[in-house]
Amino acid sequence: MTIDKQLKRAARELAAREGISYTAARRRLAAEPEAVVSAPLTPAPSAAGTDQDLTPPRLYSIARAVCATDCDGTAHPGVLCRPWRPEDSKAAQLEVQRAARLPIGRAGELCNRFEPPTATYPEGSFFARDAIWLLDLVYAMLTDQHPEFRPDRAELRAAVEADDQAPVDAVMEPLDRAAARLMTKVPEQWWGEVKPQLDAYADVVDTDYREILTWQEADDRDAVGRLVDKWRRRWTKSRNMNGYMEAPGVLWLAPKSWLDDLLVQQHGGHGYGARIRLTDGRPAIVYAAEWSEAGAPVAYRVRELEPGQYGNAGKLIPSFRDELVAHDQVAGELEDMA
């Protein structure tokens, strides 16, 4: 069905619904360029009752102004609500807006904050930035499976309007903590627990046929669908530059460091790369932090510092063996020790 026919059908439905003339309905639709195509194609029985045709999309108008948080649609009958989004804030900087966006946006802002450009990588580390979409997917899975992790819209709006990342981080903290507990730097845990969870979530998204009620749900569903498509492609084998068939895989280590550094900034502790001394006197370097539902880290995954050899002679370098130590087994950072 062409756009002109869709407009005519939408005008007839609007005229019948609101008791106005067809001409007035066409003028109203023409005056509201923000009308959107909603209601996906659904099978409808034909006149004979045997064959099934697709019902064409319908046009619905969207409210011009952002609706109040508790808007139920009664203030603008026949028009879809316009829920507030971080990008609707005119007072907040772009960085603050990105830090409040879900499912896509916050992960990229954390990468910009904790993987800043360097002389070697003027646009930031390529390897780290290639993992942004993975944290986006984790955020999407957690908010879908655990709605309690989704930030309250009114609180998030107030935090964004304050034009400060600190209140935004405070509102997002339950979600960030859940993501930090899920993400890992332990290969056995990644392959045995985290990847299967993301595979199962991808299957759920691919078979999600729930009715889309708002245009924002349609946008979010499309964004999550693109993330799942990227996840699928990363595990699909293709021929590499050497002629071998292999899957590109996922760079899953970097997001854990961003989340740890973020929560350490808020609650103290030792972030990724901190050189510490354990209570038994051994020097070590922090590889990752373990988090509970509140407060500072409850444990650290560390690598013991050992005397280097050959070109590293006289230096302390981390071993390749990870060790989990409790928070109370850390005496302090090496710079603070006598």
- 53: β partners: 44
Distance CA 188, CA 4 (A): 57
Distance CA 40, CA 57 (A): 6
Beta strand 52-55 with 238-239 is: unpaired
Burial class (CB in 10 A: 0-12, 13-18, 19+), 116: exposed
Nearest 5°: the CA angle 102, 106, 108 is: 130
Nearest to 188 by CA among 246, 252, 134: 252
DSSP 305: E
Q: Using alpha carbons only, how large is the chain's radius of gyration in Å?
A: 26
Nearest to 109 by CA among 90, 88, 87: 87
- pLDDT value of residue 8: 74
Burial class (CB in 10 A: 0-12, 13-18, 19+), 201: buried
| 123 Cβ contact list (under 8 Å, min separation 6) | 117, 129
Phi, psi of 127 (to 5 degrees): -65, -35
- Distance, CA of 293 to chain centre: 19
Q: Which helix (DSSP H) or strand (DSSP E) does residue 60 occupy?
A: strand 58-62
Distances from the Cα of 307 to the Cαs of 59, 213, 273, 313, 314, in angstroms? Answer: 70, 62, 17, 7, 7
Query: Can you state the percent helix, strand and coil of the chain, rounding each to 5?
Result: 45, 15, 35
Q: Please give, one letter per residue, the 3-state secondary structure of 119-174.
A: CCCCCCCHHHHCCHHHHHHHHHHHHHHCHHHCCCHHHHHHHHHCCCHHHHHHHHHH
Phi, psi of 230 (to 5 degrees): -65, -40
- pLDDT value of residue 47: 47
Largest CA distance in the chain: 90
Nearest to 143 by CA among 87, 201, 192, 194: 201
| 60 Cβ contact list (under 8 Å, min separation 6) | 10, 35, 36, 38, 39, 79, 80
Question: What does each of the 338 residues of the chain score in pLDDT, given as a tens digit?
Answer: 445 666 777 777 777 777 777 777 777 777 664 454 444 434 444 444 444 555 555 666 777 777 777 777 777 777 777 778 888 888 889 999 999 999 999 999 999 898 876 656 655 566 678 889 999 999 999 999 999 999 998 899 999 999 999 999 999 999 999 999 999 999 999 999 999 999 999 999 988 877 766 667 778 888 999 999 999 999 988 887 887 888 888 889 999 999 999 999 999 999 999 999 999 999 999 999 999 999 999 999 999 998 888 878 778 888 888 999 999 999 888 865 44
